[in-house]
Amino acid sequence: MEFQMQPNEIITGGNIGYSIKWNLYKNAMLVIDGKGEIPSLDDDDEGMLWRQEKYRGKIRFLQIGEGITRIGQNAFYHCYNLTEISFPDSMICIDSRAFFHCDGLKDITFPQNVIRIGSSALSLCNNLKTVRLPDALDTLESDMFLCCSSLTSIALPEGITCLKQGIFYGCENLTDINLPSSLICIGKLAFSNCKKLARISIPQGVFKIGEQAFNGCGNLKEVLMPARLNRDQFEKIYGISREYAHFI
């Protein structure tokens, strides 16, 4: 889906190899067109001009054209004024830290063809409130939503089998999450410091919950858990007070 607004005067631009072209416009649009992959960058790599400080803060709208299949790691790292993203249906992979610390981002909808979103892809997106995940995912990687402090609820698609380490760590305003019946494992610190989470139901298929998965969830008063899970040293292992756990 493309934005209704049209690009205007070009500020800067360039090519990625022979098949991808990009332009940053005065109306704060970064448009990337062509075929192939947006390459990975190091955290402090300013090789892509849009990552340079004098341009990074100018990006509010990111439009990625049909034919682009992958966003490399750190590609839009700390593009702090980025507010809207238009993805193509051709997108299948978004690598680690692709949108790390994009503070202006409030809403993101991933295309249904995306099969992998890397670790920390949306970490420290402090104003992120709405996330729509593709049905094709089977794993949510570590720290994906780390410290997304404005996230209050999220729908996890059926088919997700694993929530990796620290995925919702520090999502202090998260109050509502329904875990899919397909889930089998929850990584350590997965919901640690989700201070407003009051209730959670662990699906019957879950056989492993990592250490301190619910540590610091001070408002968590009801946890429904499969009877097979370890009842010994309950609080030490899971970070949940034994009095609030109900085995079913």
DSSP code per residue over 70-135: EE-TTTTTT-TT--EEE--TT--EE-TTTTTT-TT--EEE--TT--EE-TTTTTT-TT--EEE--T
**Does 43 have pLDDT greater than 70?**
no
Q: What is the spatial distance between Cα 57 and Cα 53, in angstroms, rounded to a whole number?
A: 7
* pLDDT confidence tier of residue 128, bands split at 50, 70 and 90: very high
Q: Is the pLDDT of residue 36 over 60?
A: yes
Distance of alpha carbon 34 from alpha carbon 29, whole angstroms: 16
- Interval 210-236 mean pLDDT: 81
What pLDDT is recorded for position 7?
65
